[in-house]
Structure 1
Amino acid sequence: MTPTTLPLSEPYGAVTCQRAGQGAPLVLIHGVGMQSAAWAPQIAALSLTHQVIALDMPGHGGSAPLPAGAELPEYVAWLHAVLQALDLGPVSLAGHSMGALIAGGYAVCHPEAVARVALLNGVFRRSAEARAAVEDRAAEIRAGSFDLETPLIRWFGASAADQAARAQVAEWLAGVNLQGYAAAYTAFARGDSTYADGFGGIRCPLLALTGDGDPNSTPEMAQAMAEAAPMGHAVVIEGHRHMVNLTAPAAVTAALRDWLNTEGATS
């Protein structure tokens, strides 16, 4: 992988990313508290056939944070500035968790720039109870209360694969920029319905993938996203939770390969 820094104009500042491979462009966006390296298994496999660009989200890795109070539309605008700077033409776009919210919003707002979109462990139209719980967590993080163990317990099971991935994810979370983490988590908490009504206008192939044990990015949400888009398809990986691309990398990569080989858009 080749680390790259893109010097964007204000208000975005520097954006860091990992680039590997050649061919049609595939852009990857990680979730809150992670970094581009969280896509390592997919970068290694998919860069054999594609030009893969894994972005560090604002306030994560080496990317500059967005201004205080930024909501999901500001993260979507940030992605648009990044893709314009990269000048790749229409891209295959995949996001995980918060990255899925950004990718889905981008596909709604800029359909001409997206050849296909994959939403891994995404959230979609939370219940009132679930929304209140995640907004409470966002408020705690903004107040400086950063509980490392709670997300790890929620994201990982007891298998050897889960525990190996948990150790790496714990390291990333422990080193995260707290301001960037709080800002992104707040946008994540408030963004599950921001672009939901626009999914019917996503005319390209859409993959909605999650683990059957993910309590927040549920299989029901994945199915609802797939049903809302004309070319939507849902995949549920059994026996896995939120960080499914790390705990079941072969299954996730296979699903992404199938998605990358899906052609066409509805008229």
Structure 2
Amino acid sequence: MVAPGSRPACGVRPCSPASPSTTPDAAPFAPVPQSWRGAAGPSPHEWRGAAGFRRRSQPLRACRPGWVRCAISMRGGVRGRVVVALSDNIRQTGAVLAARMQAKVVDRVAYRPRRRVPAGQAGPSSQAKVGSTLKLSRSIEGRDRPGTPTVLVHGVGSEKADWDGVVRALGDSSPIVSYDLRGHGDSPRMEGPWDLDDFVADHMDLMRELGIESSNLVGSSLGGLIAQAVALAHPESVERLVVLSAVAGRTAEERRAVLDRLDAIESDGVEGVAERSVQRWYTAEFRDRHPDAVSRRMRQFAANDRASYTAAYRVLATSDLADELSGIQAPTLVMTGSDDVGSPPRMSRLMAERIPDSRLVIIDGVKHAILHECPERVAAEIMSFLSPGDPGHPGAQSDGMSVRRAVLSDSYVDNALSRRDAVSVEFQDFITKYCWDEVWTDRRLSRREHSLLTLAMTAALGRMAEFEAHTVGALRNGLRPDELAAVLRQITVYCGVPAGVGAAGAIRKVLGDDHERRTDVLPTS
């Protein structure tokens, strides 16, 4: 076993012991939840490459002399993956090491060291540093609360105070940490350029400073992009992920539009684009009902440091993790407003499709500023997601939602979910998990048989709206129109003529005027 700080024969550079912070904010929370880690040094089995990547593995023995360098690259199609760069004379040794680390072997990777702004180069509003790390401004609610900490990451041009409405609505269920990104709020101002790696490194440094080993990570807009990158590069640090009003998979037209906005910021400054930005973020109805709140937001936005805002917006405009989303391991909630033009529902659907264990919420009638327009609704969705109470297994919510969409269609489910409020959100989760996962995934019955039983029971109870919805589901599950006619005869005999007439009307409405799908046995009255 190799002691931390020394170099083993194989040439892998081990972690240097962590230095306990002396700042008041770094003091252990009391009582310290199990998911919060103190300032103890790393395990001897824990190795760090030049980029600060950490992975626990068994001690490496029998390695021939040479060198291996590990890096987390957020560029060039290898975001969030471990890359092992090998010198020509140790390919065999490197392959063994890569296999043990479950890494990908890549020749001659262009390694970019993790950059830090040297002390003294930040602007006059900079706070003190912790070692070589930026001292980010942070707010902590409920240090002594039990449970996994919830960490909130805001967007470009915003600040931690923009979470206040959501924080109030979340209540006291768990510790809540929010912080100002570099160049924002009360955190240090500085010039760029920056990239997504810098924000990820800032986040992880703050988590280490606070002793947080894992958290429920919530990011909005640029914060959502940062949260995705953290979940990819440091999966062990994210228990659950919430991505709000974020971007992924921009089209060529959308890329041109966001780059045009970047050009406008560089030429006109933050003040020059403030009014246009606020119009893009808030609905006209909200602006009319809350003019004072919108004016305050515009003043706060215009007060952003120009260099810092431009550097952050460039990261938002040029970063896209769409091709890497399948690598996110944490259960994920994706949410946006139905009228958000910068982070449209199409992007959120793409994220939900590509992230393996995910669920999607589209909030009807709002734009980008969901934290301001509907903080209670956002908090209700987050609380439901972070405390799922799954009946059978951790994936019950996502599995149930997949079945629900497969049977009833995306449009039907999206319409039902868009009408949720703080009262009905728990009910929607309940039926998704218990009805669509516990019942509809029972393989002792086929999907067709589930549909037949549901049609019979909803008709018998006179629930014609549900009968109509499940008629669509029955067709999607493979029932033919002539089989629906046979079901209708059974309903009429066993449930009565009024039930049969109602069911016939629902079937006729679903089939519409498609005479090839309709049957002559359907009654007309």
Structure 1 residue 42: deviation in Å?
Answer: 1.4
Match of 1:108 among 221, 232, 235: 232
Deviations, residues 113-145 of structure 1 (Å, cap 9, x unaligned): 000111100011111111111112213323453
User: May I ask how many residue pairs the two structures share in their alignment?
Assistant: 261
Give the secondary-structure state (helix, strand or coil) at the position aligned to 2:137.
strand
Q: Which protein shows a greater Rg?
A: 2
Query: Structure 2 counterpart of 1:158, which letter?
Result: A
For the residues of structure 1 that align with 2:260 and 2:346, how far apart are their CA atoms?
Answer: 23
For the residues of structure 2 that align with 1:6 and 1:207, how far apart are their CA atoms?
Answer: 35
Query: Structure 1 counterpart of 2:256, which letter?
Result: A
| Map of 1:180 onto structure 2 | 308
The answer to whether the Cα contact below 8 Å between 2:170 and 2:380 also exists between their aligned partners in 1 is no
| Map of 1:206 onto structure 2 | 332
Match of 1:9 among 131, 144, 151: 131
Aligned-residue RMSD, C-alpha: 2.1
| Map of 1:159 onto structure 2 | 285
| Map of 1:97 onto structure 2 | 221
Give the secondary-structure state (helix, strand or coil) at the position aligned to 1:214.
coil
Query: Structure 2 counterpart of 1:122, which letter?
Result: A
| Map of 1:257 onto structure 2 | 383
Deviations, residues 84-128 of structure 1 (Å, cap 9, x unaligned): 211112100001101001001111111000001111000111111
| Map of 2:208 onto structure 1 | 84
Q: 1:67 to 1:211 in 2, by over 3 A?
A: same
The answer to whether the Cα contact below 8 Å between 1:95 and 1:102 also exists between their aligned partners in 2 is yes
| Map of 1:169 onto structure 2 | 297
Match of 2:344 among 210, 218, 225: 218
Q: 1:211 to 1:122 in 2, by over 3 A?
A: same
The answer to whether the Cα contact below 8 Å between 1:20 and 1:47 also exists between their aligned partners in 2 is no
Structure 1 residue 8: deviation in Å?
Answer: 3.2
Matched, 1:190 2:323: no
Deviations, residues 120-173 of structure 1 (Å, cap 9, x unaligned): 000111111111111122133234533111111111112245645423321320
Q: 1:66 to 1:235 in 2, by over 3 A?
A: farther
For the residues of structure 1 that align with 2:384 and 2:128, how far apart are their CA atoms?
Answer: 30
Give the secondary-structure state (helix, strand or coil) at the position aligned to 1:49.
coil
The answer to whether the Cα contact below 8 Å between 2:191 and 2:308 also exists between their aligned partners in 1 is no
For the residues of structure 2 that align with 1:260 and 1:6, how far apart are their CA atoms?
Answer: 34
Task: Report percent identity of matched pairs.
Answer: 31
Query: How do 1:20-31 and structure 2 match up within 5 A?
Result: 20-21=141-142, 22-23=145-146, 24-31=148-155
Runs of 4+ aligned structure 1 residues displaced above 6 Å come to: none
Structure 2 residue runs of 5 or longer lacking an equivalent are 1-24, 26-126, 399-525
In terms of mean alpha carbon deviation, does 119-128 or 198-207 score higher?
198-207
In terms of mean alpha carbon deviation, does 141-150 or 88-97 score higher?
141-150
| Map of 1:128 onto structure 2 | 252
Matched, 1:19 2:140: yes
Query: Structure 1 counterpart of 2:276, which letter?
Result: T
For the residues of structure 2 that align with 1:112 and 1:165, how far apart are their CA atoms?
Answer: 39
For the residues of structure 1 that align with 2:353 and 2:379, how far apart are their CA atoms?
Answer: 22
Query: Structure 2 counterpart of 1:150, which letter?
Result: R
The answer to whether the Cα contact below 8 Å between 1:124 and 1:221 also exists between their aligned partners in 2 is yes
Q: TM-score, normalised by structure 2?
A: 0.47
For the residues of structure 2 that align with 1:162 and 1:184, how far apart are their CA atoms?
Answer: 28
Q: 1:32 to 1:174 in 2, by over 3 A?
A: same
Structure 1 residue 19: deviation in Å?
Answer: 1.1
Give the secondary-structure state (helix, strand or coil) at the position aligned to 1:15.
coil
Question: By percentage of residues, which structure has more strand?
Answer: 1
Give the secondary-structure state (helix, strand or coil) at the position aligned to 1:118.
strand
Query: Structure 2 counterpart of 1:249, which letter?
Result: P
Higher relative contact order (CA 8 A, sep 6+): 1
For the residues of structure 2 that align with 1:256 and 1:171, how far apart are their CA atoms?
Answer: 29
| Map of 2:355 onto structure 1 | 229
Query: Structure 1 counterpart of 2:301, which letter?
Result: L
The answer to whether the Cα contact below 8 Å between 1:97 and 1:121 also exists between their aligned partners in 2 is yes
| Map of 2:105 onto structure 1 | none
Q: 1:40 to 1:50 in 2, by over 3 A?
A: same
Query: Structure 1 counterpart of 2:278, which letter?
Result: L
Structure 1 residue 201: deviation in Å?
Answer: 1.8
